[in-house]
Amino acid sequence: MSGTNVASRMRGLAVLAGVAALLPLVLVNNYYYEVAILVGLNAIVCVGLNLLIGYAGQISLGHAGFFGLGAYGSAVLTARYGWPPLAAMAAATFAVAALAFVIGRPILRLRGHYLAMATLGLGIIISIVVATEDRITGGPDGMAVPPLSAFGLTLAGERSWYWVIAAVLVLSVWLALNLIESPRGRALRALHGSEIAAEVAGIDSAREKLRVFVVSAIYAAIAGSLMAHYAGFITPAKVTFFHSIELVTMVVFGGMASTFGAVVGAAVLTTLPQALTVLKEYEMAVFGAVMMLTMVFMPRGLVPTLSSALNGRRR
Amino acid sequence: MARKTWFAALLALWIGAVQAQEPIRIGSFLAVTGPAAFLGDPEQKTLELYVEKLNASGGVLGRKLQLVAYDSAGDAEKARTFVKRLIEQDKVDLIVGGSTTGETMAVVPLVESAGIPFISLAGAVVITEPVKKWVFKTPHTDRMACERIFLDMRSRSFQRIALISGSGGFDKSMRGQCLNVAATYGIQVVADETYGGGDTDMTAQLTKIKANASVQAVLNAGFGQGPAIVTKNYRQLGMRAPLYQSHGVASKEYIRLSGGAAEGVRLPAAAMVLGDKLPAGDRQRPVAISYIKEYEGRYKQEISTFGGHAWDGLMLAVDAMRRAKTTDKAKVRDAIEATKDFVGLDGIFNMTPKDHMGLDLTYFRMLEVKNGDWTLVP
Amino acid sequence: MSAQFLQFLLAGLTIGAIYALVALGFSIIYNASHVINFAQGEFVMIGGMATVSFVGLGWPLPLAIGAAVAGAALVGLALEKFAVEPARGASVVSLIIITIGASILLRGLASILWGKNIHAVPAFSGDVPISLGSATLVPQSLWVMGVTLVIVLLLSWFFGRTLLGKALLATSHNRLAAQLAGINVRQVLLVSFGLSAALGAVAGILVAPITFTSWDVGVMLGLKGFAAAILGGLGSGPGAVLGGLLLGVIEAMGAGYLSSAYKDVIAFVVILAVLFFLPSGLSGRRSTERV
């Protein structure tokens, strides 16, 4: 597992920050910046989701719901009620955290596929409500979102946004790494190993699971708010269970229980469709095949498999 | 000195030749897969077919056309990314695309700030009202569809109607427009039911409408398979009030899917749906017949109105480029805005600085299904 | 009022029967391998679309149906052999991703092979509506409900009386013990996938005359089938059938009496509520966790 001591954590973080700082050298036009920003936004959600799936061993097939609520919360408060964007983002995030807290308690009593279904159902309920209440949300055709402005400055243009997202991502990763290594984080990992054993050791598994659920929801909500302001437009497409599945795939693909794996997974699966457009109508079939083959041959995900291979250890 | 000028002239000639080789790039983003695939698929096929044909007959302004098309799957965020790609990476001269309203509206800020002409293929009235400098559209708006239907209803003295619509963007937008304009035609909407996008049975909703004795006609604002299921359920329940559909299902496919249940259904549509049933003097007749022959000949598939929107978009753009004699974006935009009396598949276009849609109700025909085929309602 | 109720009920039972078949497919695979096959919905799609193709070639309907079901079963076997078997031992989440990838692959291939249009399938015995009191029914609905009933009976005979069926059941209870008893677990896995695929295909063919079929019908039906399987209790055959019928009826009643826009929300809220009180579904077996 990567990041098991302070030095290697800092190393990984330094690499990430370095990549983020140097990447603009190869981003030749705004389209490339756009893809990089999308990677960053997905990565933020995935880092949070990975805490839930990879470390706590739970599953959520409805995280696009939290992402969407963050996005629509920001959109509606700023566009329809004229709130300042940062206040709207804070309010939306707080509301999502509250929702996750309230609904998390009963939901997390479920296990395995039942939990998957419950989170799936939750995500679908959110997406239907968002698409139906068109007077507030603009319905399936979506709504425009004012740009992010604070203290008299407006954040506009791909380049400025790139630095903001990169900074937020590095911060998110740092927070996640610290959380994992904290006593609470260790409790989390114990949960994953065996919930019963963890409880025997005195860990309140229900509370820890709830905490992680809420934290991952907060990550998703913040990413959602940022996306809404960046794109200047939001539609229910990002709230569907397709997007939830995409997010889980990124986490698993990159490597569960690996924060950097989550970032890598987001990077690969966000850029892959762009690269596959040359295949035109074969794109969907090829994408599905790639997903399958990667999981069949690298079941632990990209980063853990590669790092074991690099370390010369074969499990 | 003569050598220098000779060399400069050669260089200029060479650059000119290279420029001339440079194809005119037409960018497109369409919902070829995903829930709106039956919009984007015929649109893409039409664009591909006609770009090929234009190139075969010498191209435009002496240059070949190159189509750069991406599949947005009806997702507004994907559409935005692809439009950025088209503008920044592929450096297209013009964009014809946007199968759905959501995708179109999401990219409007991008084309406005980049200053590139954009002809949308989507339906809602918000696309061109209020007018945006660089944004045009070809299909009739959903409000026009409502107005055309209400005109027909009024002529049959219907005053109280029921509305049933789906949950998609097109459905909701059209429903909203119909509710807005109904009163101006003396029509009252006494029942308003909805169904979901993937729903397979609307008997529950129709049963409720059937129970309302004051309903004189029913309007189904939808497209895709929903209206076909509504139509079948309608007959199954033995409902008598005349059924109207939207222009979104003006295709033989709808008639086929509904089986015999579509008899007597009326809807507004562009002329191309009638093909050679159009009267002899009709100005749209030659254009419609030619398109049907080409499309069905190539793809062995029936035409759909959505392909027609794409044809109009492409041809309007080409016509504008020819009139402007350049691909300079601002000049082409001006030329599109100055389009007069352009015979398209959706109608005859007359654009103005205040009207970037270019059509009124004149060429929006009312059709009725008789004996399993479309007929023109006089 | 009661005429409306009957109409809603009939609509709900019809689509509920389809959900039941899809849910059975989920349960059978889950029992044999503890994998949730998210590609189950695609078998439904293959059943309908393949039938359309074969009918288009001029084949008589019964032959087209048989070939379509066989084709879907083959795809199911291939899925097990090439995707699930090599990945055995991977975590639950990885297997979910594999089957999701398979579903995307199948949908992509379907869109290339069959195009994006919506297709109608001829009803088995015409579509003159039948009156039942003041409610109406199309004959195809009777086919749906009738065939589903027959299949459920056949399956219970299969699992209860045949050796292969009992082997499948034994594997689902305890794989190790089944292996020790001499059961070829690999074969059991293959059979379970083939059987589920066939069930899905039958569901797709039965319902296509009512709902049409196209390259992406599998997504929603798969999702609802999964929900029904969970509602009834994963791994329980009768649970799957009960879950399917219940889900269909709740949807229809929700649309009829409460709100047609929110009918899916109503259905999922009910499912969530059931899960909160009965964490293993309506008739789910309580699984014991080894410490």
Contacts of B36 (CB under 8 A, 6+ apart): B73, B74, B99, B100
Say if A167 is an interface residue toward chain C (CB within 8 Å): no
pLDDT at site C289: 46
The distance of A53 to chain C (nearest Cα, Å) reads 9
How many interface pairs between B and C have CB atoms less than 8 angstroms apart?
A: 88
Average pLDDT for residues B38-61, to the nearest whole number? 93
Nearest residue of A to residue B103, measured between CA atoms: A141
List Cα–Cα distances, A75 to A159, A234, B124, B174, C26, in angstroms: 22, 8, 22, 24, 39
Give the per-residue pLDDT at B79: 94
Please say if the pLDDT value at position B265 is more than 90: yes
- pLDDT above 80: residue B18: no
Of B268, B303, B266, the closest CA to residue B288 belongs to B303
The token pair at C22 is 């899809």
Kindly list the residues from chain B whose CB atom is less than 8 angstroms away from the CB atom of residue A274. Answer: 81, 85
Which chain B residues contact residue C127 at CB under 8 A? 232, 236, 259
**A162 interface with C at CB cutoff 8 Å:** no
Mean pLDDT of B13-36: 80
Higher pLDDT: A188 or B186? It is: B186
| Token digits of residue C215 | 């390259």
pLDDT at position A315 is 47
- How many CA atoms within 13 Å lie on the side-chain side of B193? 27
Contacts of A79 (CB under 8 A, 6+ apart): A143, A144, A145, A146
Mean pLDDT over A135-146 rounds to: 89
Please give the Cα distance from B240 to C119 (Å, whole number).
Answer: 27
Q: Which of C108, C261, C269 sits opposite A288 (nearest CB)?
A: C108
- CA distances, C153 to each of B145, C146, C161, C222 (Å): 51, 11, 12, 23
Average pLDDT over residues B218-239: 91
pLDDT tens-digit map of A71-93:
999 999 999 999 999 999 999 99
Task: Flag whether residue C104 sits within 8 Å of chain A, measured between CB atoms.
Answer: yes
- Please enumerate in sequence order all residues whose Cβ is within 8 A of that of C181, keeping only pairs 6 or more positions apart, or say none: C170
Which pLDDT does position C287 carry in this prediction? 55
Helix (H) or strand (E) holding B373: strand B373-376
pLDDT of residue C217: 86
On the question of pLDDT at C66 being above 90, the answer is yes
Distance CA C167, CA B324 (A): 77
Mean pLDDT across chain A: 88
- Whole-angstrom distance, CA of residue B240 vs CA of residue B215: 10
Kindly state whether C4 is in contact with chain B, defined as any CB-CB distance less than 8 angstroms: yes
Is some CB atom of chain A closer than 8 A to the CB atom of B141? no
pLDDT of A11 strictly over 90: no
Looking at residues C275-291, what average pLDDT do you find? 68
| Average per-residue pLDDT for chain B | 90
In tens, the pLDDT along B148-197 reads 999 999 999 999 999 999 988 889 999 999 999 999 999 999 999 988 87
Task: Give the residue from chain B lying closest to A30, CA to CA.
Answer: B88
Interface test mutation site (partner C, options A295, A300, A315, max chain C beta carbons within 10 A): A295
In A89-108, the residues whose Cβ lies within 8 Å of chain C are: 106-107
Residues of chain B neighbouring A277 (CB-CB closer than 8 A): 70-71
Is 50 exceeded by the pLDDT of residue A2?
A: no
Of A199-213, A260-274, B294-308, C20-34, least confident by mean pLDDT is A199-213
Q: Cβ contacts of residue A40 below 8 Å, gap of 6+? A: A162, A165, A166, A168, A169
Query: pLDDT band at C164, cuts 50/70/90?
Result: confident
B81, A38: Cβ pair inside 8 Å?
yes
Q: What is the pLDDT of residue C244?
A: 94
% of chain B residues with pLDDT over 90: 66
Q: Which residues pair with B375 in a beta bridge?
A: B368
Q: How confident is the model at residue C180 (pLDDT cuts 50, 70, 90)?
A: confident
pLDDT over 60 (residue A256): yes
A102 or A3: which carries more pLDDT confidence? A102
Among B86, B105, B125, which would you mutate to test the A interface (most chain A Cβ atoms within 10 Å of its Cβ)? B105
Three-state secondary structure call for residue B291:
helix
Interface residue B35 vs chain C (CB under 8 A): yes
Position A100 confidence tier, pLDDT thresholds 50, 70, 90: very high
Minimum CA–CA partner of C84 in chain A: A296
Paired tokens of A229: 């302001």
User: Beta partners for B163?
Assistant: B192, B219
pLDDT above 70: residue A314: no
Kindly state the percentage of chain C with pLDDT values over 70: 97
**Mean pLDDT confidence for A212-238:** 94
What number is the average pLDDT over the span B94-123? 94
- For residue C214, the distance in angstroms to the closest alpha carbon of chain B comes to 10
Residue C284 has pLDDT above 70, yes or no: no
The pLDDT assigned to B109 comes to 92
- What is the average per-residue pLDDT within B129-152? 94
Q: What mean pLDDT comes out for the span B280-291?
A: 91
From CA B96, how far away is CA B310, in angstroms rounded? Answer: 7
The pLDDT of residue A3 is 44
List the 146-185 stretch of B: residues with Cβ below 8 A of A. 167-169, 172-173, 176
Q: What is the pLDDT of residues C186-237, one digit of tens each?
A: 888 898 999 999 999 999 999 898 888 888 888 888 889 999 998 888 878 8
Note the residue count of chain A. 315
Contacts of C104 in chain A (CB under 8 A): 284-285, 287-288, 291
Name the token pair of A115.
């939990």
The residues pairing with B376 across neighbouring beta strands, listed in sequence order, are: B367
Mean pLDDT of C1-21: 87
Nearest CA in chain C to A302: C94
How far is residue B99's CA from residue B65's CA, in Å, rounded to a whole number? 21
Residue C173: the pLDDT is: 78
Separation in Å, CA of C90 to nearest CA in chain A: 6
Q: Is the pLDDT of residue B2 over 90?
A: no
